[in-house]
Structure 1
Amino acid sequence: AGFAIVASEVKNLANQTAGATDEIGSHIGNIQTVVEGAKNAMNRIEAVIGRISNISGDISNAVENQAAVTGEIARSINEVSSAAQSVTEDVIRVTETASETGVAASQVLAASHELSMQAAKLEEETNRFLADVRAA
């Protein structure tokens, strides 16, 4: 009779273990699904960051080119203004336009810098999130 009770308890424990194993397997499957989803999201975020970085680089190059052009315009204005009094009014208008272009270029450069900082912050947060997912 004692052996039957022990055997019954062993059988109950085996059934509980099988149930717990199935439940653990289900949890592992759910975790794998979540991790795969997070991985896919991170890949998409990484692609977006890459595009943002490329756009930021293009903007930066355009701003640098604009600054060079603005400098050339300013030099040309100085040469033209000394050439003749009759051209003075036109030279003043070009100077004002060059100044406005310089301000606009500075604003674009500031926006480009801000975009670069946001991209770096997003990359840092993405890396932190990936580290958290890997640690979990």
Structure 2
Amino acid sequence: MRREEEQRILGAAMSFGQKVDLFAALHRKSANSTKEELCGVACNYLKAAEEFRNNVVHSDYYVVGRTVIRWVQQKASVRGSKGLRLRKKIVNIPYIVDGAKTIMSLWFEATCFDLVEPKDSDLRAKLQAATVKLQQRPASYKKP
């Protein structure tokens, strides 16, 4: 019981990125070269998914325009002596929805991995494609 409690405490204190790094380090220690490469691809995907998610979730959104309606994403940050910085840009809602669907579909595949057992090359290709998709910024991202 104590060991499980310690694991939960450690996990609760770690950021998502730290958990990904820990997973990679532990997995690489026991994996062959093919699995090690797949682990690297999976970690790249997880970091891209986290960045995409954080960008969407930690922003505010509002609508501008009367005849042409546009969504604006506003993200605030505070950096030391520079003070408050507001970054605004027109967002492409279908891009956000598509990114969320990409994350959800791979999450579903990952949770069924033990049942389905896809080929490593299939999973690697899907992870790489999803990583590229989540890292792309649509051309419609402009300052309002």
Instruction: Give TM class, smaller chain.
Output: 0.3 to 0.5
TM-score by length of 1: 0.37
TM-score by length of 2: 0.36
Whose relative contact order is higher, 1 or 2, with alpha carbons under 8 Å and at least 6 apart? 1
Hey, which of these two has a bigger chunk of helix by percent?
1
Hey, which of these two has a bigger chunk of strand by percent?
2
Higher Cα Rg, which structure: 1
